[in-house]
Chains A and B, each alone.
Chain A
Amino acid sequence: MSVNPIISLRGVTKVYGEGPTAFQALKGVDLDIQQGDFVAVMGPSGSGKSTTMNILGCLDVPTGGTYLFKGHHVETLDRDQRALLRRRYLGFVFQGFNLLSRTTALENVELPLLYRGEDKKLRYDMGMAALDKVGLKDWWDHTPAELSGGQQQRVAIARAIVTQPDVLVADEPTGNLDSQRSIEIMELLTDLNRNSGITVLMVTHEPDMAAYARTIVHFRDGLVESIEEGVKA
């Protein structure tokens, strides 16, 4: 393992709610992730996988502990600073695709570039390149309603990688897809990891999918239970 992990969690806790209804979802997570790794996160439902991913993705802040992302102490950053980190370094893929409805594939993919303030020509070129990478170049003017689940998830991946992020965070990206579609998505993620050097963090319940990863992190009751090397390592 290299000495400078891109992501480093130390004693991270997360408490939801306050008072008697407060619930401690994370109880002190320590985790290092190296640049270029492909990590699968597994564990029973409610063990804190999504909570951890949201913190790693700078979507949420830990209640306690420290989170070092590319040298930034994320727990000290405000909303806007975290938004700018996401904009520059992170891409997201969700279980539910989360595309904008009534919006073409290309416009969905271009959206992060718009917030980056890129001009029209560059947005188009980069958007089409990203769609090409996920094999949907010919579907650029279709809205989500006109695409299959697998295609929608590939558009979501194109949107996540269009800004050439350092880290791709994917919470159960194949959770809503059949096994054939799932395999296609996993092959795509593997390709992005191998050939574009993107660090991939992925939550999954399925060992078949976890098998694509180089590192597998097991969660239980808000703690990291074990870390093992994947078959592809």
Chain B
Amino acid sequence: MKSQNDKITFILNGEKVSYAGNPMDRLVDVLRENFEFTGVKEGCGEGECGACSVLLDGKNVPSCIIPVATVQNKEIYTVEGLREVKMFQILVNSFADAGAVQCGFCTPGMMISAYALLQSNNNPTDDEIREAISGNFCRCTGMNMIIEAIKLAVNRLGETE
């Protein structure tokens, strides 16, 4: 049996949580199954598609190739934890208005990557936007409408500042 000390503690969507299971468990499984944040999607399990993206200390990372042990004392956000955040809401509205959502399976991961970009760069170029989401596959939209959605969000953020 594990002792209390073996628990992995981290901040998840603003709350301190701990996980007592196997430290090698994949973060995606822990988030989806133990904490029921199913907004984190699994598309490949190989770190390629970006559907499982979460914010790890503000950076977008694929949670399917990260053992939960590595997030000890770190801060994780999934889309569920961002619902009340203004910048995220602006992104959501922009995705809806720009027609950037089809099947939606890539969308939460895409939102995470877009959010991470806008947090670090409030006026990204087209190329920077492309680069920021190049690790997020979308098989439905052809990507240009997603890029436009992010640009729309940039403009709206500029207006509200």
Asked if chains A and B come from one complex, the reply is no
